[in-house]
A and B are shown apart, each in its own frame.
Chain A
Amino acid sequence: MVKKPTRDGYGEGLVEAGRRNPKVVAIGADITASVRVNWFQEKYPERFISLGIAEQNQVGVAAGLSLSGHVPFATNYGVFLAGRAWDQIRTTVCYGNLNVKFGGAHGGISVGPDGATHQALEEIAVMRCLPNMQVVVPADSIETRKATIAAAEMIGPIYIRFGREKVPIITQAETPFKIGEAYAIREGTDVAIIACGAMVYESLVAAEQLAEEGIEAMVINNHTIKPLDAKMLIEAAARTGAIVTAEEHQVAGGMGSAVLELLAQHCPVPAKMVGVKDRFGESGDPDELMAAFDLKHTAIINAVKTLLKRQ
């Protein structure tokens, strides 16, 4: 299994977006190499702006750049970008519906040893509640590259979340990707596991093991949390009659919440949520933390079995 960090996909996508459109500019915030924006900086130094450690100013400057006809990418650790600069993102960018692209790095608990302060676990919630904002959490580096290019080509604010650690590559270069279109990465009829980010891979592993016990799980790569692919998700719920959501984020307000808000109104079915349960992260080895916070395939298997009352 080939593994690669999704931040690499972001860095590659940003370079490609810059190649396609000379109006694409990138803002550095001292962590340029860590978030892979250094690749864009090396290729297009005249379109790279270093602003230092100042998230609020980073967002405001990005807004100003968009108003002068550029396509700015403001990249930072998600926890600081979405948290510290939330008012700037809300009032300047989203209220104005400005064409600013946000790269939220170090998403999830898998950030590892840096601990709770740097592990973004709430940013999906606080980004998806903003009018005009779109939110994408790609599953692997290939998909992150596509999402980044797509972000540059759509008009309006968008938040792309990606991670620090290597995660398995589960999509191919030719796999179609469109913002707002979820798809079944595995077919099944007993339950639909709706996942985003690194949890798509964990869901696939869970589905394979469940199959050995006679449970056929559909796995949906729900990379776009806003706008949700309502039609696809409602059909999946109707077809399987049972839903498990899986995300590397607080269950409160995250992808699972978004899905269940939709299904509660249009196709209510029994559901379980896999995610972080109202607690902060900790330091540790990424894989160890994923297990400790019930974010591995085993947690998904347990959720499915509990849901289907087969435990």
Chain B
Amino acid sequence: MNAEQLMQKNQALRISILKMLATAKSGHPGGSLSAIDIISVLYHQVLKHDPKKPQWPERDRFILSKGHVCPAHYAVLADQGYFDPVALDTLRQYGSILQGHPSMHHTPGVEVSGGSLGQGLSIAVGMALGAKISHEAFRVYCMMGDGELQEGQIWEAAMAAGYYKLDGLCGIVDFNRMQIDGFTEDVMSVNPIRDKWIAFNWHVIEIDGHDLTAIENAFYQASAYKGKPTVIIAKTIKGKGVSFMENNAAWHGTAPNSEELAKALTELAC
């Protein structure tokens, strides 16, 4: 898939996200739209995976620690063929394979259940340690939010990953600068973010999280870097792609109504 095709694909994934949220009448568009470019590049260009064999032992692992943006993950998984895209219309409904937050026993392709923030990086550390102990080559990717970095457990996990030099682990911070209460900088600053990860013995790459080439290159750099885990700090825009959602914390956890959806789809179709 070339850059142009991937860009178009990501617009289609954005449409898929907004449609499923509008149908569900609840969920988290802002972070889903900031994270989608990264998750899409990961599944299209980086991850070693097979949608027909979600439990393939040699697959790379992706953990969505900021579990509330699972619609972005679901859109990609459906598009990749992990399950029938028809299921996207059942998001958050009783009996659906698509729960409001990630559930490993409901959704093919979801590695671990979660949604209580701050827990994913520890799980990723455990997986990477497990691979190291068994001499397996799979890589582990864990996406966190910048607001999520306020959780203390993230830093417990970061300390352990640095200590064990887990170069099979790649963290991604979807740095969209916002959380429910407003700007992260105002609610509880996580800066200086680069220095924090360096201090915890991580290799740090900073990119524009909507520049598809930069995202891809960052993942390749992370794979090549030995002796330390890598964290990609991806500067993103909350609500990216929909003008009235961009940089507006009100869209953290509110689904668009039919009018808003129509307006958003018009923008994304351009």
Mark A residues whose CB is within 8 Å of B.
25, 46-47, 49, 51-52, 54, 56-57, 59-70, 72, 87-88, 91-92, 95-97
Contacts and interface: CB of A to CB of B under 8 A. Distances in A.
A57 B125 contact: yes
30 contacts: A46-B133, A49-B129, A54-B160, A56-B119, A56-B122, A57-B122, A57-B156, A57-B159, A59-B122, A60-B120, A60-B122, A60-B153, A61-B129, A64-B123, A64-B124, A64-B127, A67-B123, A67-B126, A67-B130, A68-B131, A68-B136, A69-B57, A70-B130, A87-B119, A88-B116, A91-B116, A92-B113, A92-B123, A95-B103, A96-B113
A49 B124 CA distance: 15
Nearest to A100: B126
A interface, by DSSP: helix, strand, loop or mixed?
Answer: helix
Interface centre among A66, A72, A88, A92 (most CB of B within 10 A): A92
B152 A67 contact: no
A100 to B, nearest CB: 9
B113 A67 contact: no
Given A64-B123, A65-B126, A67-B127, A91 B111 contact: no
Contacts of A68: 126-127, 129-131, 134, 136
Contacts of B133: 25, 46-47, 70
Contacts of B118: 56
Interface in B93-145: 103-105, 111-116, 118-131, 133-134, 136
A87 B118 CA distance: 11
A89 to B, nearest CB: 11
B157 interface: yes
A65 B166 CA distance: 14
Given A56-B152, A57-B153, A95-B103, A64 B115 contact: no
B160 A57 contact: yes
Interface in B71-106: 103-105
Given A67-B111, A92-B112, A96-B112, A60 B130 contact: no
A62 B134 contact: no
Interface string B154-182: 00110110000000000000000000000
A87 B104 CA distance: 17
A69 B130 CA distance: 8
B interface, by DSSP: helix, strand, loop or mixed?
Answer: helix
B16 to A, nearest CB: 26
A257 to B, nearest CB: 26
Contacts of B159: 52, 54, 57
A95 B127 CA distance: 18
B119 A92 contact: yes
B129 A91 contact: no
Nearest to A61: B126
Contacts of B116: 87-88, 91-92
Interface string B226-268: 0000000000000000000000000000000000000000000
Contacts of B61: 67
Contacts of A57: 122, 125, 153, 156-157, 159-160
Contacts of A62: 126
A61 B166 CA distance: 13
Nearest to B128: A64
A64 B114 contact: no
Contacts of B103: 95
A91 B119 contact: yes
A253 B103 CA distance: 28
Interface centre among B111, B116, B119, B134 (most CB of A within 10 A): B119
Nearest to A64: B126
Contacts of B123: 60-61, 63-64, 67, 92
A51 B166 CA distance: 14
A91 B114 contact: yes
A81 to B, nearest CB: 14
Contact of A88 (B105, B122, B124, B129): B122
Nearest to A46: B133
A87 B152 CA distance: 13
A62 B123 CA distance: 7
Contact of B113 (A49, A65, A69, A91): A91
Contacts of B122: 56-57, 59-61, 63-64, 88, 92
